[in-house]
Structure 1
Amino acid sequence: MAFSAAFAAKPVEWKIAETFISPAQAQEIDWAKVDETLGRTAAVSGDVHRYGFPRSDLSVTVDGVAIKPGFALGGWVAFKPAHGGVMAMGDLVLLETEINPVMAKLIANGFEITAVHNHLLRANPAPFYMHVSGHGDPVKLASAIRDALAESKTPLSVAASSAPAPAVDLDTAQLDEIMGVKGKANGGLYQFTVARRDAVTEGGVSLTPSGPMGVATGINFQPTGGGKAAITGDFVMTGEEVNPVIMALRTHGIEVTALHSHMIGEEPRLFFMHFWANDDAIKLAKGLRAAIDKTASTKS
């Protein structure tokens, strides 16, 4: 049984007792075995181990822009100690023909599917995004993810690369100033993570750190030359913030490409809005900041 269903079925006193995981319990998890099972090393933030599954095998374009894997094709699964095991949340990037085989494997191994949808428009080939949730033994969950992704062409081995990361051909200092948070260069991209002010929980577990757990606004800039950039990502919003953010984005020439949920049992209820534009990077940053200002987010 997957995380949300299994947790909901337990008595209240069990939920209270299991919500708190001691440091000793967290240390008992054999993370090296999880790494080995998934064939890659986790990015560790606090008590969260996040594994990336970028679709580096795909050549996707949008409006003539060749999309880098980290820009909009970066599948991932995060593991957080909870309730005597771990809770697992993730977002897998799949082609249309891969959706049902991967879903069947996940369901057979106890995962819940919490969303399947697009993030982009006019992408060729069109990627889809499958959001998943699970709870239990971390190695068993890792095996389930590996077996499910084997039904797709997602690379299951990580190729070593000695090539230096390409420079980000943008005025990143000005972007930081406009956005109100410090961005991060990553493989030729410039990326921002903007956390919400209030805590987000699921099944009594605080989803922190919010970025690795997928509940912070993520914004990616991919340089396209001459000071321009393509932008995409997702705003994380409560219901009353949705239309003010839409208006702010569209007023600044930024296209809304998807609006949907990613999870089922989170509190507060959250909505995720994906976007796209390819224009002057400074102009777009001002539009993104205007949209961020419509949300209860942390920023300077």
Structure 2
Amino acid sequence: MRKTHFAAASIVLAVLITAADAQKIDWQIFAEPFVSTAHAQDIDWQKVDDILGRKPAVSGDVHRYGFPRTDLSVSLDGVSIKPALALGGWLAFKPMHGGAMVMGDLVLLDGEISPVMGKMIANGLEITAVHNHLLRANPETFYMHVAGHGDPVKLATAIHDALAESRTPLTVAMSTAPPAVDLDTAQLDQIIGVKGQANGGVYQFNVPRRDPITQEGMQLTPVGPMGVAIGINFQPTGGGKAAITGDFVLTSDEVNPVITALRTHGIEVTALHSHMLDEQPRLFFMHFWANDDALQLARGLRAALDKTASTKS
């Protein structure tokens, strides 16, 4: 009887091993939620908060810290740009593998790029992109994408020290009531196809892609806080008009159809580049700009969204 049981068990084990090998099952997929939760509980987030000098927005297991360039007065085509429209630097920490991964997008002036980069590299952080998002802005702003993995307290310290090489505000000013968003936001929601939200006088949308996005074997979720959702921002400019900017998150086959859709609807494409180094699938980020009737621009953005594998309510 024992021989029969042993033989049966051996057959089952062999089948499981064969199936796992044939399908290349990644057992980490099943363990990851539990590992991530455990690591999140182990992290002393208060220390991270204290080092960075602000409280995060918490979504799932991600702690996202905002670093808006409230010190800058930037204008573009006669529009005074609010920080929430195009000057909102950020850092997102996600627990992983005995520590945390950090990804971020920092807003810098040209003279700040080299000293901040030098400090980041010296402290073991990676620079994954440096580029423009806008054209004709005065002063011109640049965007440095950073990444790292390790002890979140050490990562926060390294980033704080690097940002100290710039004029990025490292303390949070007292908040005041944000200006009202003078736009038909219900209509914008309907046209874009997801629910937006007001932030600092700007109406913002995060449109997720349907396909999962991973980096270093980790799924980047929630996609909005991790910077891999399509971002669309509307800043009222009076008379039902709005300045729009943001970035489309695209696979290679979507790039030119989206360019065509945007330009056909009077929306300028201002940048096309990568933000990360080893994400899967490979992604391209397309930034845009226009200042016109808000609903008309929303329809143009919707036409571009229809060229992507993005979600719609």
TM-score (norm 1): 0.93
RMSD: 1.7
Structure of higher CA gyration radius: 2
Cα shift at 1:168: 0.5
Look up the match of 1:196.
Answer: 209
Matched, 1:173 2:186: yes
- Residue aligned with 1:299, SS: coil
Q: Distance in 1 between matches of 2:199 and 2:80?
A: 16
Following TM superposition, the consecutive aligned residue runs of length 4 or more in structure 1 with deviations greater than 4 angstroms are 12-20
Q: Distance in 1 between matches of 2:84 and 2:44?
A: 28
Q: Distance in 2 between matches of 1:24 and 1:199?
A: 22
Matched, 1:121 2:139: no
More helix by share: 2
Of residues 212, 222, 230 in structure 2, which corresponds to 1:209?
222
Matched, 1:298 2:311: yes
Q: How many residues get paired?
A: 288
Q: Deviations over 1:38-94 (max 9, x none)?
A: 000000000000000000000000001000011100000000001110000000000
Cα shift at 1:21: 1.7
Q: Distance in 2 between matches of 1:14 and 1:249?
A: 40
User: What is the one-letter code of the residue matched to 1:178?
Assistant: I
Aligned ranges 1:52-71 → 2 under 5 Å: 52-71=66-85
Identity of counterpart residues, as a percentage? 77
Look up the match of 1:42.
Answer: 56
Q: Deviations over 1:117-151 (max 9, x none)?
A: 00000000000000001000000000011000000
Cα shift at 1:24: 2.6
Q: Distance in 2 between matches of 1:15 and 1:105?
A: 35
**C-alpha distance 22-253 of structure 1, shift in aligned 2 (>3 A):** closer
Unaligned runs of 5+ in 2: 1-25
Matched, 1:157 2:162: no
Of residues 38, 46, 50 in structure 2, which corresponds to 1:24?
38
Look up the match of 1:7.
Answer: none
Matched, 1:80 2:94: yes
User: What is the one-letter code of the residue matched to 1:290?
Assistant: A
Q: Distance in 1 between matches of 2:298 and 2:235?
A: 12
Look up the match of 2:65.
Answer: 51
Look up the match of 2:268.
Answer: 255
User: What is the one-letter code of the residue matched to 1:81?
Assistant: P
Is the 2:36–2:96 contact (alpha carbons within 8 Å) kept by the matching residues of 1? no
Of residues 230, 248, 265 in structure 2, which corresponds to 1:235?
248
Q: Distance in 2 between matches of 1:225 and 1:26?
A: 44
Cα shift at 1:15: 11
- Residue aligned with 1:124, SS: coil
**C-alpha distance 157-251 of structure 1, shift in aligned 2 (>3 A):** same
**C-alpha distance 14-244 of structure 1, shift in aligned 2 (>3 A):** closer
Q: Distance in 1 between matches of 2:63 and 2:32?
A: 20
Look up the match of 1:5.
Answer: none
User: What is the one-letter code of the residue matched to 1:128?
Assistant: F
Q: Distance in 1 between matches of 2:283 and 2:184?
A: 32
**C-alpha distance 153-127 of structure 1, shift in aligned 2 (>3 A):** same
- Residue aligned with 1:215, SS: coil
- Residue aligned with 1:21, SS: helix
User: What is the one-letter code of the residue matched to 1:82?
Assistant: M
Is the 1:19–1:204 contact (alpha carbons within 8 Å) kept by the matching residues of 2? no
User: What is the one-letter code of the residue matched to 2:251?
Assistant: T
Cα shift at 1:14: 9.9
Look up the match of 2:110.
Answer: 96
Look up the match of 2:292.
Answer: 279
Of residues 209, 214, 236 in structure 2, which corresponds to 1:223?
236
Q: Distance in 2 between matches of 1:16 and 1:103?
A: 37
User: What is the one-letter code of the residue matched to 1:169?
Assistant: D
Q: Distance in 1 between matches of 2:308 and 2:27?
A: 35
Q: Distance in 2 between matches of 1:291 and 1:242?
A: 10
